[in-house]
Amino acid sequence: MPARPTRSAGPAGSAGLALLTWVCLTLLAGLIASSPLRSRAYPPTAARPVAKRSLAARPGAARLGAALAVGASAGAASPVAAGPAALAPTGEANFEAGSESITEQGILSDLTFLASEALEGRDSPSAGLAMAAEHLAAELASFGYKGAGPEDSFRVGFSRELPSPVASGCSLAAVTEQAGELTFELGTDFVPLWNASGSASGEAVFVTFGIESRKEKYDDVSGKLDGTIAVILSGEPNHKRKFEGSEITPAADLYSKLPGLAAAGVVGVLSVRRPPPAPAPKTSRRSKDDAPDPNPIAAKMGFRHTWAHWNDGTRPPVITPAELPVLEITPAVAQALLGFDVLEPGTAVDRSGKAPKPIHSGTVVELSAKSAVTSVDIHNVVGLLKGSDPELANEVVVIGAHYDHLGVDPRGRVAHGADDNGSGTAALLAVARALAAAQPRRTIMVAAFAAEEDNLVGSTALVDHCPVPTESIVAMINLDMIGFGKSSEVVVLGVPENPDMGKVLKRGKSLTKTGIRKTITGDGQELFQRSDHYPFHKAGIPTLFFFEGLPITNNRDYHLWTDTLDVVDLEKVTHTARLVFNVSWLLATDDDRPRPPKR
């Protein structure tokens, strides 16, 4: 608005003319301000944004418009940021609010959940992965994001051919002396074990761990077991000397127990899932005040479609057809069948190391187990935050991380995946929250990918069937394993392929103090094809891949069951999240978009 004119000290006529001139100018300014030709005002210190080419005529533009039509973002839209060199006053306040929302404690909260025992390694698919997806969707919704899937769902699906339960061939029923007839539900009370199909009936007998080991001088399979259904605990005794102490030996492998049980006359097996002992703690970088959750979330009963394979030189498990039909059951089902808490005898054996005798229950059990390879649905979790600039809201910046990991192995060892990729997923949520507060000009798509560990299946599916037109995607940023190494350093792959992205990275590093003093951009090209940015790169989209350090072999917990919360450097994760927020903000606010990657 022009400065208000002042009356001169001249004659009355001059004063009247001056007053009339001021009134006319004021009215004219008002007409201009209300004109439809004036779309918005820009701060005087900022350059007017360069006119963008319209996406309205592009294929898929209507699809993006429809995806963003309902629920723009949390709160009222902010004044549009003015470009790379300056921010509108309100935009600057929003940027600062977003930046300040990224805290170590917030990241720890999400990471603690993602790496918990209850999620059982987040295999794709699994009950643990579904729990993680529920958490991610709820968080994104609370930040103001809208689901990118059908009917505004945050779940964007794809499918794989994997072993699965055959519902018509799975059942569990019993007749007890105390409660009479009992029936149980597939997927809640029990699931079949892959490649252990068949039917059986007999008396339920508790055989503790179902292990016969001459080496450990332990045998709880002895006794009269002909024609019985063995109820056993998963795993092995967690004794301080036997079975290698806190390590989990091959004796814990459920499949390895079956030949001995069959030789003893058992006709079917009910295996009770018992939480395995936690790996021995390493040097913790967490606060001493971070006590374990006194009320941990219980794991859900889910079928194990695949088994974890470790980066320890061993071969992947080969599952041949088992000699006995096997169902895995919950401790509550075992108690209903036997009349006592089966976890208590297991704890007693942990202390004594002595094998107890079988306990006959008098309960008659009938079971059937069947599994086969079928098509299984898996879900990426994807949310959209509408851009605040009407001219740029049809352009999209993607921030992604894979939230899956390896699952559980046949011994019951859990791939917690705290660093891989709980660290990247927790940082993804922190950046998503910060961007919602900052309200950038372009639309943000936050994508948590499943099945990355299975050769980038989830991210490939998302690019092939993207919720937004791929030509509308300005850039993609990927976070994968950012919790190990020096807290002031981060490796960023993709700069040689995308020089423009390298320039944005440099500006993001200097935009605010993030804690990252060194970005390593010239090494690690052998990893460039190994994470979820790569399908976007192949589609011609500029990408950056944030990674913890080189070489990857420095991380001795990589793809092992020892990748637990206590090995993650939360300070490093927080520093990296702040840098990713800065870079994301610039990509979502700059007038110009980076050029496609070099070929």
pLDDT digits (tens, 9 = 90+) for 95-118: 999 999 999 999 999 999 999 999
- The pLDDT, as a whole number, for residue 65 is 52
Averaged pLDDT of the chain: 85
Confidence at 315, pLDDT banded by 50, 70, 90? confident
Asked whether the predicted pLDDT for residue 86 surpasses 70, the reply is no
CB of 413 within 8 A of CB of 559?
no
- The pLDDT, as a whole number, for residue 328 is 98
What domains, with CATH codes, occur in the chain? 122-159+376-587 (3.40.630.10), 167-369 (3.50.30.30)
CB of 13 within 8 A of CB of 33?
no
The rounded distance, in Å, linking the Cα atoms of 447 and 478 is: 9
Provide, rounded to the nearest whole percent, the portion of the chain with pLDDT above 90: 75
DSSP E strand boundaries for 153-312: 155-165, 171-176, 180-183, 190-192, 198-206, 212-213, 218-219, 229-233, 268-272
pLDDT tens by residue, 337-351? 999 999 999 999 999
Report which of residues 57 and 156 the model is more confident about. 156
Asked whether the predicted pLDDT for residue 440 surpasses 80, the reply is yes
Give the predicted TM-score (pTM) of the model: 0.83
In the block, tokens 């009349």 appear at 339
The rounded distance, in Å, linking the Cα atoms of 450 and 463 is: 13
Picking from 38-47, 298-307, 361-370, 455-464, which range would have the lowest pLDDT averaged per residue? 38-47
- The pLDDT, as a whole number, for residue 279 is 62
pLDDT tens by residue, 217-260? 999 998 889 999 999 999 999 998 899 888 899 999 999 999 99
- The pLDDT, as a whole number, for residue 539 is 98
- The pair of structure tokens assigned to 387 is 């851009």
Helices and strands in the chain, H and E counts: 13, 21
- The pair of structure tokens assigned to 247 is 């390590």
pLDDT tens by residue, 555-578? 999 999 999 999 999 999 999 999
* Nearest alpha-carbon partner for 527 in 598, 473, 424, 456: 456
CB of 507 within 8 A of CB of 96?
no
Alpha carbon 320 to its chain centroid, in Å, reads 32
- The pLDDT, as a whole number, for residue 281 is 57
Compute CA distances 233 → 212, 237, 269, 272, whole Å.
14, 10, 10, 5
- The pLDDT, as a whole number, for residue 42 is 26
Asked whether the predicted pLDDT for residue 45 surpasses 70, the reply is no
The rounded distance, in Å, linking the Cα atoms of 235 and 277 is: 9
The rounded distance, in Å, linking the Cα atoms of 203 and 184 is: 17
Residue type present at position 252:
A
Asked whether the predicted pLDDT for residue 41 surpasses 50, the reply is no
- The pLDDT, as a whole number, for residue 29 is 43
- The pair of structure tokens assigned to 389 is 């600039």
Asked whether the predicted pLDDT for residue 23 surpasses 70, the reply is no
- The pair of structure tokens assigned to 402 is 């894979």
The rounded distance, in Å, linking the Cα atoms of 421 and 426 is: 9
- The pLDDT, as a whole number, for residue 28 is 39
